[in-house]
Chains A and B, each alone.
Chain A
């Protein structure tokens, strides 16, 4: 934890050395993500509900999923650049320091530009909050926390895969960025098979969908038992455990580079 903050601070200072690039990246990251949110507004110009959910409710799903992803991405998202570090040989230098290579990877290249996405998601979520009944508001911080754990675990699994597929990091990215896009809409707009897959295999449904069914007091379109709505922390812990094992297995199989 201390090492993470230290490294992140150092990287933020280093990245601030390139001021123009820093300003451009923070503005462009905010703008790209804002366009993403505008797309939802455009959809609702043509329909009044999406998968049975109103605009505010969809914004609630988008905002909770978005904030969870943005926090995970800001803190740990850099782990997905593992294959670049393996190829450049810089991962070797992380392994000779007395700090976990996971922490070093996560903090590597940390810059304030990572916050652009977070700002956008927080705005959308705050606009959606009036839809949350006061008595069920306690679930909101909990679901964001479990969402952060789930996305971090997905990032880590993707990175662990890169130990094997050094030349195909895109396969791993498909899960993380595909994952966040999936959580931005009510899962009821997708096919049943996909919903089952993201409930039982990669438990993205627990990032916001299942807890949101509780917060918004909706029946589950798939008819899954009601306790699933409270199972998100369990799913997050299971996934995090798998991710930690996969990461360790990846380090053991690490091949380094030629020289």
Chain B
């Protein structure tokens, strides 16, 4: 469903080319739930932006739902949903319901399907109390549920989320997580998310990609990730250890080659 081949992006900073992402190759199958970890500035967001067509890669290529994100950006937009935790895609001054109506029209979603889908999402995400509230007056948790709904109204095959739980309280976080798990289990939607919250990883992701210094440093299950650093109790400690010991020159092992078998899925 998602495939990258030696994907890379350089940025020119004061005249010199700095690679933000380099030689990134991985494959995500249909129905997988994959979490993307990495320290700040490691290249997670740049990767997500290349996969969604926002940024044009300078090296390699990507295929999402069989489409080239750069050349077929508009076609891809109809088949994927994107959620940014740090910013909204909703219309700030309009009631939430009106933003959804706009999404329907922009994505040309059939009216009946839209009504049905919105009813389902309204029920599951408990949107009813604030459907008529302007987006600017929503709490962060409400806004995030609204953003997730907007990203799913056109029934995408792939959902990409960039830090979807950032800034949410414990209850809101739990709601978002259980919704995403259901979406993946019941509809088979492929989910790729980035996060700094290891709770997201432990509770949701059967597979973890660790990106560090723009490279893929680890690709495997949560259990395999734990096994990398023996003797650490919590996953936080494991990841902190990995971040601290990282150097740009030597990517950590074990590093799967892109052609290796997909990792075992641990339920």
Q: Interface segment, B28-36, B74-82, B123-131, B223-231?
A: B74-82
- B243 sits at the interface (CB 8 A): no
CA distance A224 to B107 in the complex (A): 50
Interface string of B24-68 (1 = CB under 8 A from A): 000000000000000001000110010011111000000000000
From A90-98, A113-121, A154-162, the one touching the partner chain is A90-98
Known contacts A14-B93, A256-B49; is A93 also within 8 Å of B84 by CB?
yes
For B102, the chain A residues whose CB sits under 8 A away are 6-7, 10
CB under 8 Å from chain B, chain A span 1-21: 3, 6-7, 10, 13-15, 17
Contact A98 B75 (CB under 8 A): yes
The verdict on B94 contacting chain A, using a C-beta distance below 8 Å, is yes
Which residue in chain A gives the minimum CB-CB distance to B99?
A: A10
- Taking a contact as CB atoms under 8 Å apart, the answer to whether A89 and B106 are in contact is no
User: How many of B's residues come within 8 Å of A, CB to CB?
Assistant: 35
Is A46 an interface residue, CB under 8 A from the partner? no
**In the complex, A89→B92 CA distance in Å?**
14
Q: Among the listed A10, A89, A251, A253, which residue makes an inter-chain contact with B94, where contact means beta carbons less than 8 Å apart?
A: A10
Asked, given contacts A99-B106, A254-B56, whether A92 binds B91 with beta carbons under 8 Å apart, the answer is no
CA distance A95 to B94 in the complex (A): 20
A95 touches B73 (CB 8 A): yes
A90 CA / B89 CA spacing, docked (Å): 8
Given contacts A92-B54, A254-B54, contact A3 B106 (CB under 8 A): yes
Which residue of A10, A14, A256 is within 8 Å of B54 (Cβ)?
A: A256
Which of A10, A98, A252 meets B91, CB within 8 Å?
A10
Q: Is the pair A10, B98 in contact by a Cβ cutoff of 8 Å?
A: yes
Interface assignment of A54: CB less than 8 Å from any CB of chain B? no
Majority secondary structure, A binding face: helix
Interface check A193, CB cutoff 8 A: no
On whether the beta carbons of A97 and B54 are closer than 8 Å, the reply is: no
Decide yes or no whether A259 CB sits under 8 A from chain B. Answer: yes
A100 B82 Cβ-Cβ under 8 A: no
Q: Does A196 contact B (CB under 8 A)?
A: no
Q: Does B255 contact A (CB under 8 A)?
A: no
Tell yes or no: A218 within 8 A of B by CB: no
Q: Is the CB of B56 within 8 A of A89?
A: no
Is A98 touching B55 in the complex (CB atoms < 8 A)?
A: no
Within 8 A of B (CB), among A93-147: 93, 95-100
B132 at the interface (CB under 8 A from A): no
Please give, as numbers and ranges, the residues of chain B lying within 8 Å of A10 by CB-CB distance.
91, 94, 98, 102
Q: How far, in angstroms, from A68 to B238 measured CA to CA in the complex? A: 64
Q: Evaluate contact between B98 and A96: CB separation under 8 angstroms.
A: no
Measured CB to CB, the closest approach of chain B to A7, in angstroms, equals 8
- Complex: A111 Cα to B134 Cα, angstroms: 18
Contacts of A224-259 to chain B: CB distance below 8 A: 251-256, 258-259
Q: Distance in Å from the Cβ of B168 to the closest Cβ of chain A?
A: 16
Contact between A96 and B74 (Cβ–Cβ < 8 Å)? no
Q: Which A residues are in CB contact (< 8 Å) with B82?
A: 96
Asked if A99 and B74 make an inter-chain contact with CB atoms under 8 angstroms apart, the answer reads: yes
For B98, the chain A residues whose CB sits under 8 A away are 10, 13
Contact A17 B93 (CB under 8 A): yes
Are the C-beta atoms of B55 and A259 separated by less than 8 Å?
A: no
Chain A CB within 8 A of B246 CB: no
Question: When the two chains form the complex, which single residue of A6, A253, A254 contacts B105, counting CB atoms closer than 8 Å?
Answer: A6
Complex alpha-carbon distance, A258 and B73, angstroms: 21
Most chain B CB within 10 A, of A15, A88, A253, A255, is at A255
**Contact mask B89-125 → A, CB, 8 Å, 1/0?**
1011110001000100111100000000000000000
List chain B residues, Cβ under 8 A from A89: 84, 86-87
Q: Does A90 contact B107, Cβ atoms closer than 8 Å? A: no
Q: Top 10 A-B pairs ranked by shortest CB distance?
A: A98-B77, A14-B93, A93-B89, A96-B82, A95-B54, A98-B74, A252-B56, A98-B78, A89-B87, A92-B54
Instruction: Supply 21 A–B pairs (Cβ within 8 Å), ascending by A.
Output: A3-B106, A10-B91, A10-B98, A13-B94, A14-B94, A15-B93, A89-B87, A92-B54, A93-B84, A93-B88, A93-B89, A96-B53, A96-B54, A97-B107, A98-B75, A254-B56, A255-B55, A256-B45, A256-B46, A256-B55, A259-B45
